[in-house]
Structure 1
Amino acid sequence: MPALFRFPATPLRQVLLVLLVLLLPVWLLGEHAYLAIDDNLDSELVAPYLLPRLSVLLDYHPTTVVPPLMDGLPRNALRSGLSVTMQLFALLPPLLAYLLHALLVRLVALLGFYTLARTHWLRTPADAGLAALLALAWATLPMHTIYGLTVGGQPWVLWAVLNLREGRRRGLSWLTLSAFPLWSMFVYVGPFLLAGIGGLLAWDWWYGRRAHLGAVLLGAGLLLASYLVVEYPLFYSLLLAKQFVSHRVEFAISRLKPMSFSSGLKSTLHYLLLGKYLAGLFFRGVILAAVVAALSLSQPAARRGLRRQLLPLGIVLVLIAAFCGFYPQLLTALQAYVPLLRTFNIGRFHFLTPLLWFVLLLLSLRALPPGRLRVGLAVAQLLLGLAMNTEWTTNLRHLAGVAPTTEPSYAAYVAPRLFARVRALLHERTGQEPPAYRVACLGLPPSVAQLNGFYTLDSYQNNYPLRYKHQFRPLIAGELAKDPALRAYFDAWGNRCYLFSAELGKNFRVGATQRRVVQHWDFDAAAFRRLGGRFVLSATRLARPQESGLRLLAVQADAAAYWQLFVYEVAAPGE
């Protein structure tokens, strides 16, 4: 951070203020704000919410389990308690923790890109405004902030590595690399950052730039060592104690995606021009326009130098896109010989590409003369990122009263009053609290029930015991037999260990206004009962619950909730 104070702070202060204004809608809406649901509310919010409340945040003992998830999910299958994200959720209520965390992530992202740009490329006072604009565009990109600095904080890593490469700020750079794992996720970015640093070291070695290779290598070692400490539960459970066999060993991507050359090429173009939504989904068109403008308007001598800078970056981006695009074919060919490829996705190099594209943009705009063109391109990139940031645009629509009915607010999604009524109903019937019985959900993510204190047999987890997947499958085997796509979705992937219905397909959010009715649900109630299940909380009505071995207890609704709940109980044998 000291580098910030060596430059005029006015542009930085201005964009910090703009960032706060852009984030204001979600704070104004509060519990009525829209928060991204897919791979966010439906999965990632549960562990930060539950682990502190069950007092197992830092309990890594092999026998420790999380009872509300899958009848006792091993604690070590979930995120480390040492992360800033988890600690923040331990201190604050979940919604406030989420909003504050998102704000902090984007602030740190902005400061990181500004510091990177001003330290290594845009050093003159006249460039401060451009650096600030690009930093704002970077900080407002679509990204899942629940992953911490996994994407947004990468400029700090690059800043530290470039410092070490130049022999400057060694202590602060080593500290930055050591701290980054505390606020990022290893499985998404750790190995790929290390591979990127390794590639840079190889480049310098090849071209004889070896003066500071040791300092960079030590920085990479500190980054890895810190990840080993922070992600201790992951490494310990899977590599050392071998606490359980992960369901990921049955991943078979060839059953989920087409394996043709044309599909690989299409995927490559998607990675190249758009990226993936978890890692920052935005169209690269403005950046390509900036590259073309810079090469077209530069003087011949400057153009040659610019090409030498842009060409290696462009080649790396194309290679990453091709690798990720054809990764399914590569995985299918190699996973029989390298079993680790089944459980660990090495196709996540695309998490590095948003930063590489922004460096490409920065270098191109730097080559343009100060004026309207480069400012216009920077503003265009900012507006493009905002337009593709669905969390931001949906909240604007919520403020305007024209929000899409399929994208509920946080309060409508979690629906605490509705689930409190269900909890009271079941207490009246059983005399028991949620820890004493197990439920499963149909037509709504189990995370909704989990965030309301219910103990579910189903869940959305990136890592859980294969044994449990096999125990759960009989519950839905009849429905999987009806739909080959759903069968492959569960058998060849299975992160969503859900109650499936062939009639609903992959519609996992059946809102009250949809009024869906499932005519024939082939559910194995006996297997559900053997697994400990007693109640099914369904967002859709079953036309013939008795065929599924269930009986309807009640229909619960609430005007403020996204859901209408049909509460079914497993019928006793013989009923």
Structure 2
Amino acid sequence: MNRITFTRERIYFVLSIIIIAIWVAPYFILGEHAHMRIQDNLDSNIAWYKILVDSNQLFGSIQANIPQIINGELSRNALYSEYYGIVELFRLFPPVIAYGLNQAISRFFAFLGMYLLLKKYVVKGENQGFIRIISALTFALIPFWPNGMLSMLGMPLALCAFLNIRKHEQTIISIVTITLLPFYSTFMLGFFFFLSALGVFWLIDVIRTKKPQLRLFFSIVYMTLIYLAIEYRQLASLIFSHEETNRSEFFESKNNLTQTILLIFKNYIVGHNQNETLFGIIILPVSLIALVLVILKKSWKNEKLFITLHLTNFLLSVWYAFWWYEGWEPLKQKISILNTFNFSRYHYLRPMIVYILFAVSLQILWRYQKKWRITAIVFAILQIAVLIPSNEQVWYHNSPSFGEFYATKEFSDIKKFIGKPVQDYRVASIGLHPAIAQYNGLYTLDTYNNFYPLSYKHQFRKIIAPELEKNKALASYFDQWGGRCYLFVDELGKNYMFSKDSTKVIHHLRIDTQAFKQLGGNYILSGVPIENAKENQLDLQKVFQTKDAYWKIYLYKVT
């Protein structure tokens, strides 16, 4: 690589780091005024970290429960391992700062890992530094699920390390990499799928080379064992706990063949909400143009990686869609692991595959003719333009900020009004997420969690049974999943975001108040007024509203 090319690539590298820093800066500048994802984030994980720390059960035993949630029936094992880096961030820093640090760490190592992988194994041309940098940068800016940490964004770094080990190169730093990555990623929500896919790669490699490839094999086993050690709580639950959980009633394969085929193309073009790639607008056309060029040049044999990436990307969407196909259901009912573990998540490999495909596609355009280099540069810059609206401050600007969502001042007023120690009464919420009450220290009968006792789900169902009778969709949602153990109301559906300016009113609420009381319930926090509250033995105590909160909360006491 000549000196000018090297200097230019180094400048691109520094500029990329600056762009990533600007991308995450709002969390540190805006603090609680920052906006962030609500689904599977503010409505759950962020509250869980605080609950873990406040409960003094962060390092609790495998038999420990969380007293604050569902009458203490939620197992400590249902929440994140204490060895996850993100948990430590939330233990040491204020929540928004911890969240911002997690974003910065995840995006930096996503960029670094993809850059190193492309430079050493994919886009190796001396004058193609721009392609390496821009592909790594766009990968680092995708709207990933933040609580997964490096579960998806760390895959290129891991793949680079494993390939180094296979080639007997940079072995020490690569072993350090696969040793540390498990502490900042998850096994069940990312690396199980990566490592099992890598195991298939190892097997094919053994057959192809007729060599055992023991270094690669033992490094895969080594990383897997570290994950299992970190995830000892979930292992203990699987091996030693014989209590049925809500996962036992998880019926997911309900799509007919037409719906399944449509889902293939939806996932392929649009993606999944936890691993969005923003593939369809720029990367898909670029990869198809590159495919046409490969066909015209008849260079199939020279572009095996490109063809493989195209096929794998599509087949992962096929696998994802068919996991929800109704034809699976009889087999899933016979083999419990197929029902309790979501094997569709091999699509978590797609972000890495899509952005390697993007890099290779740009490389094909770059090498075709000199005038096509400008086209490649334009497409690369356009992909950054496509990603900018996905920044949380832009995408969620119409949603409540962190501070507005958790409404700590408003809940402080509620607790003062009730005037009793929080552990002496139980609440549940209507029209807002129970995570808000949990974040503010209240003890809740409702929750959002995928792993809690099935017996509790059945007890809780008695409360909302009259409402579920009115709405078959809600009944199916609760009965066949139940992760959201909420006070569902037919008139509200699956809407939990009623602002203080909302004019929505519940006119015909029907809940089993006696079942609520038998479960220990004392108060209901409603995001909207309940017109027939007295028919349900509910007495309106007070309406709470503050200028810094998103909600107007109606406090009802069970009489």
* TM-score bin, normalised by smaller chain: over 0.9
Give the percent of matched residue pairs that are identical in Structure 1 and Structure 2: 30
The answer to whether the Cα contact below 8 Å between 2:316 and 2:346 also exists between their aligned partners in 1 is yes
Question: Which residue in 1 is equivalent to 2:3?
Answer: none
Aligned length: 546
Shift of 1:45: 1.1
Q: So what's the TM-score if we normalise by structure 2?
A: 0.93
Q: 1:285 & 1:213 partners in 2: Cα distance? A: 40
Flag the 1:284–1:212 CA change in 2: closer, same or farther, 3 A: farther
Deviations 1:297-322 (A, max 9, x none): 46976823444222222222222111
Name the structure 2 match of 1:423. 415
CA contact (8 A) 2:206 2:212 kept: no
Is residue 325 from structure 1 mapped to residue 311 from structure 2 by the alignment?
no
- Specify which of 420, 444, 448 is matched with residue 436 of structure 2: 448
Task: Please give the alpha-carbon distance, in whole angstroms, between the structure 2 residues aligned to 1:235 and 1:377.
Answer: 46
Q: In the alignment, is residue 412 of structure 1 matched against residue 404 of structure 2?
A: yes
Task: Give unpaired runs (5+ residues) of structure 2.
Answer: 1-5
Return closer, same or farther for 1:182/1:243 CA change in 2, 3 Å cut-off. farther
What is the aligned partner in structure 1 of residue 59 from structure 2? 58
1:370-425 deviations in Å (ceiling 9; x for gaps): 732222222222222333x2624236xxxxxxx42xx1111111111111110110
Give the conservation status (yes or no) of the 8 Å contact 1:141–1:386.
Answer: no
Aligned amino acid, residue 553 of structure 1: Q
Aligned-pair distance for 1:211?
Answer: 4.3
Q: Out of 474, 479, 495, which is 1:486 matched to?
A: 474
Q: Is 1:359 the counterpart of 2:356 in the alignment?
A: yes
- Give the aligned partner of residue 526 of structure 2: 538
Q: Does 1:141 align with 2:137?
A: no
**1:264 alignment partner in structure 2:** 260
**2: CA distance, partners of 1:171 / 1:211:** 22
- Measure, in 2, the Cα distance between the counterparts of 1:143 and 1:112: 16
Q: How does 1:21-36 map to 2 (within 5 A)?
A: 21-36=22-37
Q: Which is worse superposed, 474-483 or 112-121? A: 112-121
State the SS of the aligned residue for 2:343: coil
Q: What is the alpha-carbon distance in structure 2 between the residues aligned to residue 382 and residue 214 of structure 1?
A: 40
Residue identity opposite 1:182 in structure 2: F
1:231 match: 231
For 1:424 and 1:221, how far apart are their aligned partners in 2? 54
1:378 alignment counterpart: 380
Asked whether the equivalents of residues 462 and 495 of structure 1 are also in contact (C-alpha less than 8 Å), the reply is yes
Distance in 1 between residues matched to 2:293 and 2:315, nearest whole Å:
27
Partner of 1:316: 312
Which residue of structure 1 aligns with residue 300 of structure 2? 304
Q: Secondary structure of 2:71's match? A: coil
Q: Tell me which amino acid in the other structure corresponds to 2:410.
A: L
The residue correspondences of 1:253-292 to structure 2 (distance < 5 A) are 253-254=252-253, 257=254, 259-292=255-288
Instruction: Provide the rounded CA distance (Å) in 2 between the counterparts of 1:91 and 1:420.
Output: 23
The answer on whether the counterparts of 2:20 and 2:104 sit within 8 Å (CA) in structure 1 is: no
Contact 1:82 1:230 in 2 (8 A): yes
Contact 1:102 1:146 in 2 (8 A): no
CA contact (8 A) 1:160 1:176 kept: yes
**Cα pair 1:150 1:188 within 8 Å, conserved:** yes
Alignment of 1:184-195 (within 5 A): 184-195=185-196
1:381 partner amino acid? Q
Describe the shift of the 1:123–1:212 C-alpha distance in structure 2 as closer, same or farther (beyond 3 A).
farther
> Any idea what SS the aligned residue of 1:422 has?
helix
**Does structure 2 conserve the Cα–Cα contact (< 8 Å) formed by 1:251 and 1:342?**
yes
Give the Å deviation of 1:60: 2.8
Equivalent positions of 1:439-518 (< 5 A) are 439-518=427-506
Q: In 2, are the aligned partners of 1:53 and 1:90 still within 8 Å (CA)? A: no
**1:307, 1:131 → 2: CA distance?**
18
1:569 paired with 2:550, answer no
Q: Deviations 1:269-314 (Å, cap 9, x if unpaired)?
A: 1111121010124233422322233344469768234442222222
Mapping for residues 81-230 of structure 1, pairs under 5 Å:
81-206=82-207, 208-211=208-211, 213-230=213-230
Deviates more, 1:511-520 or 1:373-382: 373-382
**In structure 2, the residue corresponding to 1:55 is in which secondary structure?**
coil
CA contact (8 A) 1:58 1:82 kept: no
Distance in 2 of aligned mates of 1:544 and 1:135: 57
Task: Report the Cα offset of residue 128 of structure 1.
Answer: 2.3
Distance 1:115 1:281, change over 3 A: closer
Is contact 2:523–2:556 with CA below 8 Å preserved after alignment? yes
**Letter matched to residue 246 of structure 1:** T
Distance in 2 (CA, whole Å) between partners of 1:157 and 1:285 is: 28
Give, as a single letter, the amino acid of the residue that structure 2 aligns with 1:542: I
Determine helix, strand or coil for the equivalent of 1:529.
helix
Confirm or deny: 8 A CA contact 2:405 2:550 kept in the other structure: yes
Q: Aligned partners of 1:537, 1:436: CA distance in 2, in Å? A: 16
Distance (Å, rounded) in 2 between the aligned partners of 1:185 and 1:394? 26
Q: Which segment is superposed worse, 416-425 or 171-180?
A: 171-180
Rounded to whole Å, the distance in 1 between the matches of 2:36 and 2:340 is 29
Q: Partner amino acid for 2:300?
A: R
Distance 1:61 1:295 in 2: 53
Whole-Å separation in 1 of the counterparts to 2:292 and 2:227: 44
Give yes or no for contact 2:68–2:423 (8 Å, CA) kept in 1. Answer: yes
2:16 paired residue number = 15
Cα distance in 2 for partners of 1:300, 1:476 equals 62
5+ unaligned residues in a row in structure 1: which ranges? 1-5, 396-402
Q: What amino acid is the match of 1:413? A: F
Contact (CA 8 Å) 1:440, 1:537: kept in 2 or not?
A: yes
Q: Which secondary structure does the structure 2 equivalent of 1:542 belong to?
A: coil
Moved more, 533-542 or 44-53: 44-53
- Does 2:426 align with 1:438? yes
State the AA in 2 paired with 1:365. Answer: L
Tell me the CA shift for residue 189 of structure 1.
1.4
Provide the rounded CA distance (Å) in 2 between the counterparts of 1:223 and 1:445. Answer: 37
Structure 1 vs Structure 2 CA RMSD? 1.9
In 1, Cα distance between equivalents of 2:236 and 2:295: 57
Residues 24, 103 of structure 2: 8 Å contact kept: no
Question: How far is 1:333 from its partner?
Answer: 3.3
For the residues of structure 1 that align with 2:191 and 2:106, how far apart are their CA atoms? 18
Deviation per CA, 1:330-380, whole angstroms, max 9, x where unpaired? 531311221111111111111101111111111122222373222222222
